Structure 1
Amino acid sequence: MKKWLHNTVIGCTAAALLLFLAGCGGGKESPAASSPPAAATGIQERTIKAGIGLNEDHPEGQGLKKFAELVSQKSGGKLKVQPYYAAQLGDDKKMTEALQAGLQEITIPSTSPLVGNIKEYAIFDFPFVFNEEKEAHAVLDGPLGQKLLEKLPEHNLIGLGYWENGFRNLTNSKHPVAKAEDFKGLKIRTMQNQVHLEAFQALGANPSPMAFSEVFSALESHTVDGQENPLATIKSNKYNEVQPYLSLTKHVYTPFVFLVGKKFWDQLSVEEQQILRDSAVEAGAYQRELNRTENQKALDDLKAAGMQVNEVSAEEKERMQEIIKPVIDKFAKEIGEDLVQEMYDEVAKARQ
């Protein structure tokens, strides 16, 4: 095995996503989700283990629950998805490795942990690329997102599309962060991702990678000063109990990628594969919409809970972007400047 790498929403969004992932051109299947024709036909009785790192009440947890309902409905109850929340099956790395080994069937991690073995996924870690969700969706659901999904099968993984983690914001126990200088000296928990690490270092912070499951206790004990995550995650994990300051930096937009183990996928019939693919797309559209709604509600709830919330001006974000530009230029060369330019071109097109 190669090294580990890393309800219902009806309408235009779901339809567009479904057409894309199913392959709009002539009804062919998406290359990233295709496999040699399965020997079996029909739908068998199967139990499918699906694990995520976040809680059941998080939009991702609710999306997984919706996915399980859809799979059961579309298979007449023969395919049963067993959800596991809050890293019950391990962190993103462990669950992805379990997929590759055929020990688990589904996980939906952030794209960042995939960078270790598929360097191109680092483009989604570039700070200040997207201003709003629709720009990110245009990239993820377009040719570039598909191009990255097609890199997964050689790593014993199948990608059925992208869900939404969302814009990351900073919390800390020291002071509000409203300008670039406010990062100086802050010890911030980050994911084990080199783009994140070097970007925070360029801003003067002291990034400290650690497993997601360890973050709350590290904040509580002041092992680290702060962390960065989307609002729904901050609320779901009750970081407001140990973090008085929330700064709306929106410094990175992070997608989730819906992964199926290739060993499991290749055992499925064409009918079973289509049920999983369609359910992932439909549940993904639901999850994205829920995530946007929950992020606004989370912000209101965190304010009501006593967090001191501050905005970061567009001018300050531009200053931050200039400070970290050498980091972006460095990783653009490593990832491939053509791919990076393709991303920025797609963002510019979405803004029109």
Structure 2
Amino acid sequence: MIELKFGGYQGDKSVHTRGGRVLAEAVAEETNGEVTLTFDENIVSRGHKAADLLSMTESGELDGCYFSSSYLANRVPELGLFDQHFVVPDRRRAYALLDGALGDRLRSEVAAATGYEVLGYWDNGLRHISSARPIRSVEDCQGLKIRTLANEDHQRVFRSLGFDPKAIDVRDLPDAVRTGKVDAQENPLTNILNFNLHESHRHILMTRHLLGVALVLFNAERLNSLTPEHRAGLQRAVDRASQAQRRFAEDDDAICSAELRAQGVEITELDDAGRAAFREATRAEVEITRSQFSPEWRELFDKELSAA
């Protein structure tokens, strides 16, 4: 029997954790029990940083993990196509991009530049801004310290809105919010609720500025050691888990919204005029992100997005 080790960084209710559990079951089923997948659900609970998943997987300490694509954009710049804020309008179109020619090309780029292979794309959530005091306009962002991902494209966008961005690992985020180290942060509703960020940040602006993408990564050498039959079974299992994980993510938005409102959190929808103002304020920085890609990549992205 072959045992694969897969790692995560979130808690019991997380849509990623639930997706990982589906993956573990599906691997056994798709390989007739010849391959099993052991899921270490939350390495943060054992003192690791969440970002350690990347080095642990690339080194072979783990065989696979899920992680935000934004953290690999410095090594695979084309992944930054999904860091264009206020550009992809909804989940349906984002999934079409990931599951089509663009997603296939990105898999090849990751394999060429790293020790990983991408076997799937998970929904890392529509991202919104939560804060200690209400934010309803671009003017309200001025001078506030905001936690962002460790990605320069993200940080430039939030600077253009007037924020002072701070890159903080997920492990340290709850404490940064609780102690007032940051005035705001941006995350999907599921993370805002499950990391208890709403206990300190009682105001959420539904910006939907980005749909996060979580890559399902496996160590390339480990994959190459599998038989073609076992590898095909693993891919089918990841495909099944990806569909389930995306359903969890979509359903969780409604569940978390209702729970947050029930706990007295103020949730403000960003209307069309407000969204246009945020988009205009960030337009120049998004164009800088876009300019980093070759005309071929920009054309492929635009073609796939318009066809979705």
1-structure distance, mates of 2:86, 2:299: 15
**SS of aligned partner of 1:150:** helix
CA contact (8 A) 1:87 1:213 kept: no
Corresponding position of 1:123: 81
Aligned with 1:208 (options 166, 188, 194): 166
CA contact (8 A) 2:204 2:266 kept: yes
Corresponding position of 2:20: 64
**SS of aligned partner of 1:287:** helix
Corresponding position of 1:196: 154
CA contact (8 A) 2:7 2:43 kept: yes
2-structure distance, mates of 1:341, 1:239: 39
1:81-160 matches, within 5 Å, as 81-88=37-44, 90-154=48-112, 155-160=114-119
Corresponding position of 2:9: 53
Aligned with 1:187 (options 142, 145, 161): 145
Superposition RMSD in Å = 1.4
TM-score for both structures, normalised by structure 1: 0.83
**SS of aligned partner of 1:255:** strand
- Note if 1:164 corresponds to 2:123: yes
- Note if 1:80 corresponds to 2:80: no
- Deviation, structure 1 residue 346: 2.1
Aligned with 1:316 (options 274, 281, 304): 274
1-structure distance, mates of 2:132, 2:270: 17
- Deviation, structure 1 residue 74: 2.3
Aligned with 1:281 (options 239, 256, 259): 239
Residues 184-217 of structure 1 deviation map (CA, whole Å, 9 limit, x = unaligned): 1111100110111000000001110010110000
- Deviation, structure 1 residue 179: 1.5
TM-score for both structures, normalised by structure 2: 0.95
- AA paired with 1:262? A
2-structure distance, mates of 1:151, 1:344: 18
- Deviation, structure 1 residue 92: 4.7
Corresponding position of 1:252: 210
Moved more, 332-341 or 295-304: 332-341
- Deviation above 6 Å: which 4+ runs of structure 1? none
2-structure distance, mates of 1:125, 1:91: 22
Structure 1 residues 337 and 53: alpha-carbon distance in aligned structure 2, compared to 1, 3 A threshold: farther
Structure 1 residues 339 and 230: alpha-carbon distance in aligned structure 2, compared to 1, 3 A threshold: same
2-structure distance, mates of 1:261, 1:152: 11
- Deviation, structure 1 residue 159: 0.8
1-structure distance, mates of 2:233, 2:276: 44
Unpaired segments of 5 or more residues in structure 1? 1-44
- AA paired with 2:170? F
Would you say how many aligned residue pairs link Structure 1 and Structure 2? 305
Corresponding position of 1:11: none
- Deviation, structure 1 residue 329: 1.8
- AA paired with 1:57? K
CA contact (8 A) 1:240 1:302 kept: yes
Unpaired segments of 5 or more residues in structure 2? none
2-structure distance, mates of 1:337, 1:199: 22
- Deviation, structure 1 residue 54: 1.8
**SS of aligned partner of 1:103:** coil
CA contact (8 A) 2:6 2:38 kept: yes
CA contact (8 A) 2:30 2:236 kept: no
**SS of aligned partner of 2:86:** coil
Residues 230-277 of structure 1 deviation map (CA, whole Å, 9 limit, x = unaligned): 111111111111211111011111111111001111111111101110
